[in-house]
Structure 1
Amino acid sequence: MFSELPFLMNEQLIKNALVINAGLSMPADVRIRGARIERIAPDIPAKANEQVIDAKGAWLLPGMIDDQVHFREPGLTHKGSIASESRAAVAGGITSYMEMPNVSPASTNMAALAHKYAIARQGSLANYAFYLGATEDNLEDIKALDPSKICGVKVFMGASTGDLLVEHPQALEAIFRESPVLIVTHCEDGRRINHNLQMYRQNGLTPGILDHAKIRDTEACYASSSYAVSLAKQYRAQLHVLHITSEKELSLFSTGNIRNKHITAEACVHHLWFSQDDYPRLGNLIKCNPAIKAASDREALLNAVQSGLIDIIATDHAPHTWSEKQQAYLQAPAGLPLVEHALLSLCEQVHHNRLSIELVAEKTAHNPAIRYGIADRGFIHEGYFADLVLVSAKHSTEVSHKTCHYHCGWTPFNGTRFSSRILTTWVNGQVVFDAGKLTQSQTPAMPLVFNR
C-alpha cells in the first residue's frame, strides 16, 4: 500500500464550482486537505492561509480514468514515454491511466511489470496501473497476479504482432477460466483481415487508407468479439471488450447497472468523433485498429453510450512519430495520440446535445472506478482522493500541433476549436496543470489500488 506523502498536506478550497458527480450537477464548494477531499458543501468559509480557487461556475469533474493507453515505455520511447504522455494526459484532465503491455520487451511477466512501475514512480504525473499481456504460454504468470495491484490481463484475440497474439482455443479457454483479474480484449479476427487483404492482392490492387475500414471490417470485429463474449459466458469470466467500433457488435451487450455486469463494453473517443469520411482529409493520421468505420456506426456508438450498452469511454492513446505516419498505408503504424483532447472532445458532444456532462463523468470516471474496483477514486466524495478537473464551458480551445504536449508533436485534432477549456487538473490534491501550463516537477502520482 502506498503512503500519502508529507509534502501533500496542504489545504485548498475550490469555491463556486458546479460539481458534476453521481448523476447530479450541483453548485458547491470543495475543500482539499492533503491528497484527499475533506468536505463538500454549498458554502464553505475559507480558513486563514488557505489557498482559494474561484471556479466561477465552471464544471468540476472527477478526473478521467483512462483504462486504455499505450505510453510506449520501455523500448519505444522515440514515440513517447510514461513521463511525456502522462503530462499530456493531465493537460487533458486525465488523472489516472492503465497502460498496455505491447512495449519492448512486452509486459508478459511480473519482472516486466515491476520495471514499468519503477519508471512510473519516477516520472508519471498521473496515477498509474499496468496490464499483464497474455501469451499462449504464460498462464502461470496470469494465475499468480495480485488482484489488488494489477488492473487486468490484456488479450489480443486474433490481431497483434510479436508474442502477444493469443488465438489457440485451448490457450484462450484457460485464460478465461483461470484469470483472477479482469480480462480485457482487443477483438479482431486475423483470418478475416488476411482474407480481405488477399482479395486486393488477387485483383492486382494495392490497398490505401480509404480501404482500411473494408480490410478491418465489421465482420472481423464481430467474429472475434462474439467469441470473447461466448467464452466469458461459458466460464463466468469478468470480461471488458475494448474499443467497440461497429453497430453490429452492440447486439452482444446489455444495458443496466455496471455493478451487475460481468461482461462490459467500451468505446473510444476517436470512434465517437471521426468516421471513414475523414480518411481523405486525415489519411494515416487516423489509421487505427480496430478501424474507424461508417458515420452510421459512430451514430450507433453514441446512442449506445446513452442507452448503457457502452459502459466506459477511453482513448486507446497510441502515439507514433510524424515520419512513421507518412509512410504508405500498409507500412504506416496504427494508432493516434488522444489523451490531451479526449475530454474536450466529449465536452463538445455535450455542447451539441449528444451527451450530458453527467453522463461524461459516469463513462470516464465513475464506471471505470466501479468496473476495475479502484479504491477511493472516480467520484467527488468526501474522503476520496482529490483527482479533479475544472472545465470551463465558456472558454474555447484552439488545438494545433505546435501547442500539444505529446512527444510525437502532432494531434489528429489539429485546427479544431473546442467549445470548452481545461482550466485546472489536480492529482492527489496537487495542481499539476493550470492556466495552460504544467505546474509540477515532482510527481504526486500514486499506483492505483484495486478493491477485489
Structure 2
Amino acid sequence: MFDLLIVNARVVNEGAITPLDVGIRDGRIEALAPQLERNARETVDARGRHLLPGMIDDQVHFREPGLTHKADIASESAAAVAGGITSYMEMPNVKPPTLDSDSLEAKYALARGRSHANYAFYHGASNDNLEAIKALDPQTTCGIKIFMGASTGNMLVDEADTLDAIFANAAIPVATHCEDTPMIQRAEARARARYGDDVPFALHGEIRSREACYKSSSLAIELARKHHARLHVLHLTTLEEMALFEPGPIDGKLITAEACVHHLWFSDADYERLGSFIKCNPAIKTAADRDAIRRAVNEGRIDVIATDHAPHTLEEKQAPYFGAPSGMPLVQHALPSLLTQVNAGHFELTTIVEKACHNPAKRFELERRGFIREGYAADLVLVDMEKSVEVQRSGLRYKCGWSPFEGTTLKGAVELTLVNGVRVWDGTQLCAAPAGQRLTYDRR
C-alpha cells in the first residue's frame, strides 16, 4: 500500500511532460506508471495540473543566527515550501559567520526539527580561515562561499594569495559573489560627492556597475581554470558576463553559472516605483541585461536559477540610499514568478525544472533529490499553470512582512508541496510539522 498516490498528473521531469501516476511510500517515490492500481492511504487527483520536482534553491539568507529580527529558519522555510521550494542552501554571512566546522554544525542544530524544507549550509571563506577550508569534510557542506565583492556582512576575501589558495584547495564546489569592491567604492564616492546621502536608487546599477561585475567574474573563472576547481558563479546580472560561460547541458562542466529570479523579472525601470525594495547586490540592471540573462537560460549558459532570498525589515529598507541594506525576500514567489514567465513564452516549463530542480542537485551532488525518479525523495510540487494569484501583504509568510512582488498578479500557483513525502503546504496553509531533513551528498 502506498502512503500517498498522486493520479492523473502531468509529470515534468528530465525534458519531458508525461501523464503519470506517482506512488509514494516511506518518504520516497516508489512507483511511476501511466496507471497505478495499488491501494493508498491517501489519493490526490492531479488532473489538469503539473507535478514538478521541488525547487532546490542554492542561495538563501535566512539570517539565523544573530540576525533573527529580519528572518529565521522556521519563518523563511515556511515561506519557501509555500512557494514550492523543498530544499535550500543557506549562506554564511550571519552572526557569528560560518567560518569553521563548529559554527557550521551549530547551524545544522538550529535547523533540526524547525525547518519545513530540506537544508544545507555553506562554509564561508575569509582572508584568514584557509586552514579550516583545507580541513573541511566534503560531506558536511554544500559548498564554499567566497564573497569576492563586499555585500552584506564583513566576509570580503580580497587578498590575492588567499583567493588563489582557496581555489587550489577546494575539494567541493566554490560559489562566488563576484563584484570588484574598489571599483564600487570609487563609484560610491562620486555619487556621494554629487548627491550627498540622498543618492537616487535608480543609480544603484551604475554604482555597482557591469564593469565591476565582469572584472570579478573573469577573475573567478581564471582561478578556477588555473586550479581545475569546480566554480559556481552566483547571481549574474550583465549581458557581457553571459559570454564568459559555455552553452549547453550542465553535465561535465567545470564552471557553472546562476541567475536569480529578480534579475529575470525586474529591470532598472522598476527603481522609480520600488526604490530600495529592489536594491540588491549585484544590482538589477537594464532591460537589455535582463533579456540577455533570459536568453542565456535558454541557451544553457545559465545552468541554475535561484533566489538569493535576503530579507530586511521595512524600517531598514526605508533608509536613504547608503543606509538601506541590499536584498529582498523572494522564496515564496520565486517559482510562481518563473511559471508566469513560462506562460508569457519566455521559457519552457521543462527548462525551468532543469534549471531550478535538476541542475542544483547535479552541481552540488545531492543524494537522490531533484528528479522524479523511483527511489528518490518525494520532494514534489503540484502547480496549476492556469491559476492567477495577486500577491498581497496579508498572505506573506516572511518575518519581514513585505515583498517586491506586492500588487503583482502571477499566473501559475503552487497547490501542493510535499517534503520527504509529507504534505507540508496545501495551497493555502501549512499542514504539517516541519519535515525538512539535512541534505546529503553523493561524493566519492
Match of 1:55 in 2: 46
Q: Once the two structures are superposed, what CA deviation does each residue of 1:67-103 show, in whole Å capped at 9, x if it has no partner?
A: 0000000000000000000000000000000000000
Question: Quick one: distance in 1 between partners of 2:361 and 2:128?
Answer: 30
Q: Secondary structure at the match of 2:394?
A: coil
* Runs of 4+ residues over 6 Å off in structure 1: none
**TM-score, length basis structure 1:** 0.96
Deviations along 1:95-154, one digit per CA (max 9) or x if unpaired, are: 000000000111111111111000110200100000011011111111122212310000
CA distance in 1, matches of 2:10, 2:308: 29
1:268 has 2:256 as partner: no
**1:178 aligned to 2:163?**
no
Equivalent of 2:374, from 382, 389, 396? 382
For residue 309 of structure 2, what is the amino acid of its counterpart?
H
Distance of aligned partners of 1:161 and 1:299 in 2 relative to their CA distance in 1, 3 Å threshold: closer
After superposition, where does 1:188-207 map in structure 2 within 5 Å?
188-203=179-194, 205=196, 206-207=198-199
TM superposition shift of 1:422? 0.5
Query: Which position in structure 2 is the counterpart of 1:219?
Result: 211
- CA shift in 2, pair 1:162/1:353, >3 Å: closer
Deviation per residue, 1:415-450 (Å, 9 max, x gap): 111111110000000000003110112x22111111
Corresponding residue to 1:363 among 342, 355, 360? 355
Cα distance in 2 for partners of 1:60, 1:203 equals: 53
Q: Which moved more, 1:375-384 or 1:389-398?
A: 389-398
Once superposed, what is the RMSD of the aligned Cα atoms? 1.2
Instruction: Report if the CA contact (8 A) 1:208-1:330 is conserved.
Output: no
1:158 Cα deviation (Å)? 2.7
Percent identity, aligned pairs only?
Answer: 54
Q: Does the 8 A contact of 2:2 with 2:25 survive in 1? A: yes
5+ unaligned residues in a row in structure 2: which ranges? none
The structural deviation recorded for 1:256 is 2.2
Partner Cα distance (1:286, 1:334) in 2: 8
- Separation in 2 of the partners of 1:256 and 1:40? 29
Contact 1:402 1:410 in 2 (8 A): no
Structure 1: which 5+ runs fail to align? 1-8
- 8 Å contact from structure 2 (residues 152, 326) kept in 1: no
Following the alignment from structure 2 to structure 1, what is the Cα–Cα distance between the partners of residues 89 and 67? 17
Normalised by the size of structure 2, how large is the TM-score? 0.98
- Alpha-carbon distance in 2 for matches of 1:444, 1:203: 52
CA distance in 2, matches of 1:423, 1:120: 25
In the alignment, is residue 146 of structure 1 matched against residue 137 of structure 2? Answer: yes
Partner residue of 1:158 out of 129, 132, 149: 149
Q: 1:103 to 1:373 in 2, by over 3 A?
A: same
1:97 and 2:109 aligned: no
Pick one of 319, 325, 337 that aligns with 1:327. Answer: 319
Choose from 276, 290, 315 the match for 2:307.
315
* Residue 394 (structure 1) shift: 2.1
Q: Distance in 2 between matches of 1:396 and 1:168?
A: 49
1:43 to partner: Cα distance:
0.7
Match of 1:414 in 2: 406
- Count the aligned residue pairs: 442
